[in-house]
Amino acid sequence: MLSALIAVFRIANWLNWIMAALFAFLGLLLLIDPSHFRDMFMEAFTDRAESDAVFQWLLWSCLMGLPVAAAVHVILTRLVAMIRDTQAGAAFSESNAKRLTTIAWALLAINMVDLAYGQLSVWASAVSGEYFGWAPSLTGWFTVPLLLVLARLFREGAAMREDLEGTV
C-alpha cells in the first residue's frame, strides 16, 4: 500500500513539473511577443484597459505558478521520504519532524502566493469587468499550524522512542 502511495506521489511530482514547464513556456511567450497576445486580447475586449488587465493577469498567473510548483515539489518529496521512513519502522523520528516543518512552510508559501493571486484576480476583475475565479480558502491556513503542531508531536515521539530504547 505504501509503495503504491510513493508511486502516486512521484507521478504527481512529474505532473507538477510538466504543468510548471507549460506555465513557464506560456509566460515566456507572453514576455517575448507581448504585442501578439495583446492584439488577441484587443479583439476579445473592446476597451484597451480591459485587454491590458487580462494580459497582466495571465502573465502574473504564469509567473506565480513557478513558486507554487517548487513548493509542491518540496511537499511531495518530503512525503515520499516520510513514507520510506515509515516503511523502515522509524515513523517518529527527528528527520520526519523536520520534514513536517518543511511541509508546513511550503504550504504557507503556497497560501501566500494564493493571496497574491487573489488580489491580482480581484484587480483584473474590477478593471476588465470579467470574473477571474478566485475565492479565499481557510483550509490551507488552518493546515499550516496543524502541521507545525504535528511536527512537535513527532519530535516528542522521537524523544520518547529514544528514551525507551535507552532503558531497554
Highest mean pLDDT among 30-44, 59-73, 150-164: 59-73
For the cut 90, the answer to whether the pLDDT of residue 103 exceeds it is yes
31 in Cβ contact with 58 (< 8 Å): no
Residue 104's pLDDT is: 97
pTM: 0.86
| Closest by CA position to 50, among listed 63, 59, 32, 38 | 38
User: Binning pLDDT at 50, 70 and 90, where does residue 168 land?
Assistant: low
Handedness of CA 123, 128, 111, 74 (dihedral sign): negative
Distance CA 100, CA 78 (A): 8
pLDDT tens digits along 109-166: 999 999 999 999 999 888 888 888 888 889 999 999 999 999 999 999 888 877 777 6
- The mean pLDDT value of the chain amounts to 89
DSSP string, 51-97: HHHHHHHHHHHHHHHHHHHHHHHHHHHHHHHHHHHHHTT--S-HHHH
